[in-house]
Amino acid sequence: MRDRAAIGDNPAMAPPLLMLQDIRINLGSTALLDGAELGVGAGDRICLIGRNGSGKSTLLKIAAGLMQPDGGTRFIQPGATIRYLPQEPDLSGFPTTLAYVEAGMGPGDDPYRAISLLTSLGLTGEETPAHLSGGEGRRAALARVLAPAPDLLLLDEPTNHLDLPAIEWLETELGRLRAGLVLISHDRRLLTTLSRSLIWLDRGTTRRVDRGFGGYEDWREEILAQEEAEHHKLGRQIAREEDWMRYGVTARRKRNVRRVGELAALRQRHRERDAVATGTRMAASEAEGSGKLVFVAEGVGKSYDRPVVRDLDLRVLRGDRLGIVGPNGAGKTTLLRLLTGQVPPDSGTIRIGTNLEMVTLDQQRAALDPARTLAETLTDGHGDMVQVGAERRHVIGYMKDFMFKPEQARTPVGTLSGGERGRLLLACALARPSNLLVLDEPTNDLDFETLDLLQEMLTDYAGTVLLVSHDRDFLDRVVTSTLAAEGDGRWTEYAGGYSDMMVQRQSDLPARPAASGGTSATPSARAAPAPRGEGGSVSARKITFKDRHALEKLPGEIAALQAEAARLRAVLANPDLYAKDPQRFATTSAALAAAEAGLTEAEERWLELEMQREDLAG
């Protein structure tokens, strides 16, 4: 292994296309970059790694010549062409996307490449930039930097707002280029595929190793272990907070070996279950448990100018972690709004479970006021305490859970990096009690440490998760099943994560038998429970006086069982109960199990009868 703080000693890189040496940037009295270095030769594939706020984007802007450092030197090989993709491209002032792309090309560039790239990225070139979505703007910006076939590409989070087909296209396109490449991204799969060298930006300085991203975590652990040993030799103590923030992730990654096994077991149970008859830190504030059934969709359809959802049959149970994937415009956000009752379906029915406490995190991040400080945002301007569920915590302590430093408490939100703003939104959302998390692209701009913490939180979360994401690695680490858009409003649910879905598709395994040529479903999501009693379908039977009487009584029984289960959980929440009264602990545990079983049976019975009543009414 070659590990260098300086990068200019690599003979294979002579002459470099780009060389930054001893780069320094100060923010007030704090050094953001303190001797950082970057060297790129022809054909280099470098991923730039570092925590949110460490200065990665700043270093890339200096490399692109868009920012002047306080100190250091920048060398560009004469005649070399460089193209830079910012996190937030600015398309204003251009009449069409084609004009925007062509403005980035030089006299000798192929004029047909601009329209060819736009077409490959799903654009026509006639779009008005002011009306583009975030994903469409990112596609146009990618076409602009790729069209001139530059010698050096500097890409800052190129996959943000892109859907999975576009990410896979970009991965293939970048793999074919001969240009030097410096890439900042949170997409582990993309970095593993493309990178050949790593530069780690940490505390203002850079380290480089010539190995791909797949070896990053092991290399980082070696460096941190070496530093820790040196600190001990010098007799200096490392602050507990810094120790947690920098070394805690290592322990988490080791614990994830166990978590991978647990996720595999969950997915196996998801494959096998048939119908319903069959549980520093980042933690969500959890409400009381929801009912066993969270969402049941039957024959659901929704159209606007075209079908968005067609013949959807889906069942989501308490504790499921459902990933939703598909191209931009496939209707993922509409599907979330349908399931959560924000918009009604055009056809079919959606049953929403009982006792749901939902927290939503969308991808727009519009809820943050840039003029407010970080502390004011967390406390809503009320003192120094944060309400986290039923607990009140000091804002500094809560900030540390999300890897913010105490001195950032008075930092205006507008000065935070994109990843830090994402972390702050997570902190705000997770303070609210919930048993249902609806996360729409939560991974945008997050660094790997925050992604690991979010993954751990979702793994420990006892409630239900609906997750829209284009991060293939994150989906594989988190979800128990994947609902994929298949085109023309059809959706198919696959057991497992993104990789499992691809294997099932490639193997032509029927994910589920489709009831009507439409969306199929896992065994857990096939049909509604068949009525108990005589044979025949629900709609074919007449509703009896006994059934009508049960429909009237069941809501009261469900409420009573929920109250009893809550009372028993409160008794068992006493940490001293088992030691002081083991007999009562055992009796209460058995009573809670019986109450929960009765609640599940009552909810299923009510659902069957209500569906039967509506079918007959229709």
Find, among 185, 69, 71, 170, the residue nearest to 117 by Cα: 170
Both tokens of residue 533? 């009693």
Give the Å distances, CA to CA, from 435 to 151, 289, 594. Answer: 51, 6, 21
DSSP β-bridge partners for residue 71:
24
pLDDT score at 364: 54
Could you give phi then psi for residue 163, rounded to 5 degrees? -85, 175
Both tokens of residue 248? 């805690």
**CA-to-CA distance for 261 and 268, rounded, in angstroms?**
11
- State whether residue 123 is helix, strand or coil: coil
Neighbours of 42 (CB within 10 A): 15
Q: Enumerate the domain spans of the chain.
A: 3-213, 293-525, 545-617
**CA-to-CA distance for 602 and 598, rounded, in angstroms?**
6
Q: How is residue 413 annotated by DSSP?
A: G
pLDDT score at 266: 64
Neighbours of 182 (CB within 10 A): 26
pLDDT score at 120: 92
pLDDT score at 381: 80
Look-up of token digits 């859907």 = 163
pLDDT score at 217: 78
| CATH class, 545-617 region | mainly alpha
By CB atoms closer than 10 A (0-12, 13-18, 19+), residue 227 is middle
pLDDT score at 359: 84
Both tokens of residue 89? 């491209």
Q: Which residues of the chain have pLDDT under 50?
A: 1-14, 234-255, 274-279, 509-541
- State whether residue 351 is helix, strand or coil: strand
**CA-to-CA distance for 208 and 197, rounded, in angstroms?**
7
Find, among 157, 480, 502, 451, the residue nearest to 318 by Cα: 480
Please report which helix (H) or strand (E) contains residue 177, including its range. Answer: none
**CA-to-CA distance for 237 and 249, rounded, in angstroms?**
19
pLDDT score at 232: 57
In sequence order, which residues have a C-beta less than 8 Å from that of residue 192 and are 6 or more positions away?
Answer: 212, 213, 214
Find, among 72, 93, 94, the residue nearest to 7 by Cα: 72
pLDDT score at 599: 79
Look-up of token digits 């602990």 = 585
pLDDT score at 517: 35
**CA-to-CA distance for 174 and 177, rounded, in angstroms?**
5
DSSP β-bridge partners for residue 27:
30
- The DSSP code sequence of 355-393 is S--EEEE-SS-TT--TTSBHHHHHHTTSTTEEEETTEEE
- State whether residue 495 is helix, strand or coil: strand
Distinct helix (H) and strand (E) counts, the chain = 18, 21
Residues 481/494, Cβ–Cβ less than 8 Å? yes
Both tokens of residue 614? 């509506």
CATH architecture of 3-213: 3-Layer(aba) Sandwich (3.40)
In one-letter notation, the amino acid at residue 16 is P
pLDDT score at 114: 93
pLDDT score at 617: 63
Give residue-wise pLDDT tens across range 495-552.
Answer: 888 888 888 877 654 444 333 333 333 333 333 334 333 333 333 446 676 777 777 7
Q: Which CATH number is 293-525 given? A: 3.40.50.300
Give residue-wise pLDDT tens across range 61-86.
Answer: 999 999 999 999 999 999 899 999 99
Sheet holding 436-440, edge to edge: 358-361, 436-440, 464-468, 321-325, 481-487, 490-495
| Cα Rg, the chain, nearest whole Å | 27
**CA-to-CA distance for 495 and 404, rounded, in angstroms?**
36
